[in-house]
């Protein structure tokens, strides 16, 4: 199988971009479809595990991995490696440790874990190298005590030379062109004037570019430079000894290092495939024990993913061959290549971009696709096809996949049709799985008469005169040559004449076949339309169901919030009520039975279930409701959607249904337990309405004021408590409208403060 024919080579180039280092890319380059079942199963399992691990944990760390094969091999031959080469080798030890840590943190990837578990620990070697060489690839002083001693000596000697040179420069400044030293051949020199070179003792090492100066090594520096060179040579010998010793350690670990490198290359290959699969939303194919080939919503990976048309391909018993017909440029060859490419990719352990993939185990893939014209061999296109077909017919077996594009084309149509039918018949007898494309009517007729051949086509939109690239199983298509010719502005008269010749030479069988094909196509298009409508309805139903669940969840959340608010309000009310009762006791303790009654009612409020809070939240005009936040209650007098107006003791309050709750209309019987009837008893010093609602308190206050006027009292006190302030506001609103009230004010210190109101009545000053 030619990789270029199915474009497998382009897929491998894409995957290589996800590789971490060169050996991983080399393994991708070496990928070729394998037709051994055990190998394919292993590769598919590893690819599947790698893809699963990538989604859950990311990739195996590859930092520090590079191709160190040449360095390790050189060390194995007793070569001395450089500092850079040794440091690159040292990085592998940390990469192994990182991969092992990844393995310990991840689960469910056994076939990949087998590779990681095969890694050999080489961290001691890495640490030994790093103890001698830093990340700048320099051998450090602490690599050996001798090296440290020599470098201290070298530094001291360089200092002595610098001091001697500066003294010389200061002494002979007139004969020198500069006050700095220069290095020529590792020798410290000074820059002397050319005219003075014979007057100064020393060794000349050449002239400057301007020929105005010479590099002079004074006599006083000769011995020092010699000693410096000797120390440098000793230093280099010590560095070489250290590098050789480290290289011998690499040699001792040669097999482990190379084995680790091979394992990392394998892991790099697997995770590069996984990255590619993730980017293309691919799946790993399953191997079928039967001749069942299935790709659901397959998308050719080399076509723009935003434009590619997903199609489902399936060949299963009783069919063993697929014959694809349809328009030119309609996608027949793409279909053929997609099927062949997906099989080849799966046999390389590569995921395929579709929703589900099932393939049989073939022993070979044979393909005759495209133009095989060979100038070198003097073969025409047809001759090249025949040569290739002859080889396929000779080699194909019952376990082979045969891909044939435009079978029988390139020669006389009648002969081409006959040849195509004969080749199909030969391959069918061999029981090979066949996928072929054709334009020939007689080949389509042959396919319709064979139970093991599945006819299919690629759709062509006659309205837009554009191919749709949709694969339609069970329907054979027409070439639409005349329609396409019209699209490319061929003269209409020519097209009509061609249609006449076609009709004149068509047999009744061909005309009947074309009619049946059109009817099948119409039925299929109608079926697809109904399926789309069904899918749209299902999608709408899912949206409505999700919306319903969202509303229910929102309602439950709102109910929970309201319950919490109600509980908080009840708790606050209890605390306020206790405080008011205690305050009222201090002001007027003449009615202990009233305080006990209030406490009893409060206890009932705590223990009674909040029925009104949980009841149906539907309201109507005339309902008696309570405003949860304000504590007011009254009758609904108008409604507009969720907006309501509640009449609370003569006051109109606008609110929403979310802020009110149903309640039983209270009976005005509590006043009998509070106010004093007639004037048979002395008028109390104050009117206590703590614990009453506004509509309960106002009749009591009204009666009290009447009695106060009859008793000729000019000033009285009304005790309403502080609480939420609702009762106080209601009392003050009432007093403003009362004709006998001259003025009123809040109580001062000793009068009850904010919990009482002092009222001055008219007629008495």
730 is in an annotated binding site: no
Residue (of 702, 703, 704) closest to 687 by Cα position? 704
Show the beta-strand stretches assigned E in 138-265: 176-184, 187-193, 202-207, 213-218
Segment 602-607 mean pLDDT: 53
Give long-range contacts, CB 8 A cutoff, 24+ apart: 379-382.
380/410, 381/410, 382/409, 382/410, 382/411
* Residues 714-735 pLDDT 10s: 888 898 887 778 888 899 999 9
> What would the DSSP string read from start to end of 627-663?
ETTT--EEEEEEEETTEEEEEETTEEEEEEGGGEEE-
Q: Residues 221, 222, 225, CA angle at the centre, nearest 5°? A: 80
* Residues 740-758 pLDDT 10s: 898 999 888 767 788 889 9
**Lowest pLDDT segment from 335-349, 496-510, 702-716:** 496-510
pLDDT band at 78, cuts 50/70/90? very high
pLDDT at 678 > cutoff 70: no
278 is in an annotated binding site: no
Q: Of the ranges 2-11, 218-227, 555-564, which is most confident?
A: 218-227
* Residues 562-585 pLDDT 10s: 777 766 666 666 666 666 666 665
327 is in an annotated binding site: yes
- Helix/strand/coil for 397: coil
- Relative to beta strand 453-461, strand 466-473 is antiparallel
pTM of the complete model: 0.64
**Lowest pLDDT segment from 136-145, 183-192, 379-388:** 379-388
333 is in an annotated binding site: yes
Close Cβ partners of 453 (under 8 Å, ≥ 6 residues apart): 319, 320, 321, 322, 323, 424, 428, 446, 447
More confidently predicted of 611 and 171: 171
pLDDT of residue 406: 86
pLDDT of residue 594: 56
332 is in an annotated binding site: yes
Output DSSP code: residue 591.
-
Angle between helices 254-279 and 110-117 (to 10 degrees): 150
Over its C-alpha atoms, the chain yields an Rg (Å, rounded) of 50
How far apart are the C-alpha atoms of 423 and 115, rounded to whole Å? 47
Q: Across the chain, what does the average pLDDT equal?
A: 84
pLDDT of residue 650: 64
pLDDT of residue 667: 64
What strands lie across the sheet with 213-218, from one edge to the other? Answer: 176-184, 187-193, 213-218, 202-207
pLDDT band at 507, cuts 50/70/90? low
- Helix/strand/coil for 281: coil
Please give the share of the chain, as a percent, with pLDDT higher than 90: 48
pLDDT at 278 > cutoff 60: yes
330 is in an annotated binding site: yes
pLDDT at 648 > cutoff 80: no
pLDDT band at 764, cuts 50/70/90? very low
Instruction: Find out whether the peptide bond into 318 is cis, omega within 30 degrees of 0.
Output: yes
Q: Residues 115, 118, 85, CA angle at the centre, nearest 5°? A: 100
How far apart are the C-alpha atoms of 25 and 277, rounded to whole Å? 16
More confidently predicted of 344 and 645: 344
pLDDT at 226 > cutoff 50: yes
């Amino acid at each position: 199988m030619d990789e270029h024919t199915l474009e497998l080579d382009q897929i491998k180039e894409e995957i290589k971009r996800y590789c971490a280092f060169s050996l991983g890319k080399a393994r991708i380059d070496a990928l070729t479809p394998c037709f051994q079942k055990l190998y394919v199963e292993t590769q598919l399992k590893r690819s599947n595990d790698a893809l699963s691990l990538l989604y859950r944990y990311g990739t195996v760390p590859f930092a520090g991995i590079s191709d160190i094969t040449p360095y390790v091999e050189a060390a194995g031959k007793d070569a001395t490696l450089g500092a850079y080469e040794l440091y690159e080798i040292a990085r592998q030890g940390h990469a192994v440790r990182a991969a092992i840590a990844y393995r310990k943190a991840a689960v469910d990837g056994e076939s990949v874990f087998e590779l990681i578990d095969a890694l050999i620990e080489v961290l001691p070697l890495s640490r030994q190298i790093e103890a001698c060489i830093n990340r700048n690839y320099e051998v450090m002083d602490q690599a050996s005590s001798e090296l440290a001693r020599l470098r201290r000596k070298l530094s001291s000697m360089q200092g002595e030379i610098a001091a001697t040179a500066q003294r010389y420069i200061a002494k002979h400044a007139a004969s020198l062109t500069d006050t700095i030293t220069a290095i020529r051949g590792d020798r410290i020199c000074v820059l002397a004037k050319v005219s003075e070179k014979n007057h100064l003792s020393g060794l000349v090492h050449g002239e400057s570019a301007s020929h105005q100066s010479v590099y002079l090594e004074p006599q006083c520096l000769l011995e020092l430079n010699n000693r410096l060179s000797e120390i440098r040579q000793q230093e280099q010998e010590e560095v070489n000894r250290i590098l050789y010793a480290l290289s011998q350690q690499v040699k001792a670990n040669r097999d482990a290092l190379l084995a680790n490198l091979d394992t990392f290359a394998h892991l790099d290959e697997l995770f590069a495939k996984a990255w590619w699969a993730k980017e293309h939303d691919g799946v790993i194919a399953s191997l079928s024990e039967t001749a069942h080939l299935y790709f659901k919503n397959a998308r050719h990976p080399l076509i723009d993913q935003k434009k590619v048309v997903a199609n489902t391909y399936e060949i299963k018993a009783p069919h063993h061959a697929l014959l694809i017909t349809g328009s030119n440029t309609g996608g027949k060859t793409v279909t053929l290549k997609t099927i062949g490419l997906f099989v080849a990719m799966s046999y390389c352990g590569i995921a395929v971009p579709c929703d589900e993939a099932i393939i049989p185990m073939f022993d070979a893939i044979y393909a005759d696709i495209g133009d095989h014209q060979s100038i070198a061999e003097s073969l025409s296109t047809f001759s090249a096809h025949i040569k290739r077909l002859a080889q396929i017919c000779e080699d194909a077996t019952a376990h082979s996949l045969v891909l044939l594009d435009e079978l029988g084309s390139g020669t006389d149509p009648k002969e081409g049709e006959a040849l195509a039918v004969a080749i199909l018949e030969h391959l069918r007898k061999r029981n090979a799985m066949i996928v072929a494309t054709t334009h020939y009517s007689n080949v389509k007729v042959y396919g319709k008469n064979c139970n093991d051949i599945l006819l299919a086509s690629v759709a062509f939109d006659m309205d837009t005169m554009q191919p749709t690239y949709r694969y339609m199983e069970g329907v054979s298509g027409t070439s639409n040559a005349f329609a396409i010719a019209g699209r490319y502005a061929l003269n209409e008269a020519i097209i009509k004449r061609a249609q006449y010749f076609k009709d004149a030479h068509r047999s009744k069988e061909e005309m009947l076949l074309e009619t049946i094909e059109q009817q099948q196509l119409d039925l299929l298009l109608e079926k697809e339309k109904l399926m789309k409508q069904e899918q749209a309805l299902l999608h709408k139903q899912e949206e409505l169901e999700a919306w319903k669940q969202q509303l229910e969840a929102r309602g439950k959340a709102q109910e929970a919030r309201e319950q919490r608010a109600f509980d908080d309000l009840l708790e606050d009310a209890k605390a306020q009520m206790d405080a008011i009762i205690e305050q009222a006791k201090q002001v007027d303790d003449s009615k202990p039975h009233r305080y006990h009654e209030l406490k009893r009612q409060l206890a009932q409020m705590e223990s009674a279930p909040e029925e009104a809070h949980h009841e149906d939240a539907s309201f109507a005009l005339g309902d008696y409701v309570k405003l949860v936040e304000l504590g007011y209650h009254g009758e609904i007098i108008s409604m507009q959607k969720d907006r309501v107006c509640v009449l609370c003791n003569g006051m109109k309050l606008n609110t929403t249904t979310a802020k009110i709750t149903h309640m039983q209309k209270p009976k005005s019987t509590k006043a009998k337990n509070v106010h004093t009837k007639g004037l048979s008893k002395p008028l109390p010093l104050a009117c206590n309405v703590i614990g009453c609602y506004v509509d309960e308190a106002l009749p009591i206050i009204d009666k009290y004021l009447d009695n106060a006027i009859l008793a000729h009292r000019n000033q009285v006190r009304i005790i309403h408590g502080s609480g939420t302030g609702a009762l106080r506001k209601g009392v003050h609103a009432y007093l403003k409208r009362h004709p006998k009230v001259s003025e009123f004010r809040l109580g001062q210190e000793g009068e009850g403060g904010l919990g009482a109101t002092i009222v001055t009545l008219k007629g008495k000053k």
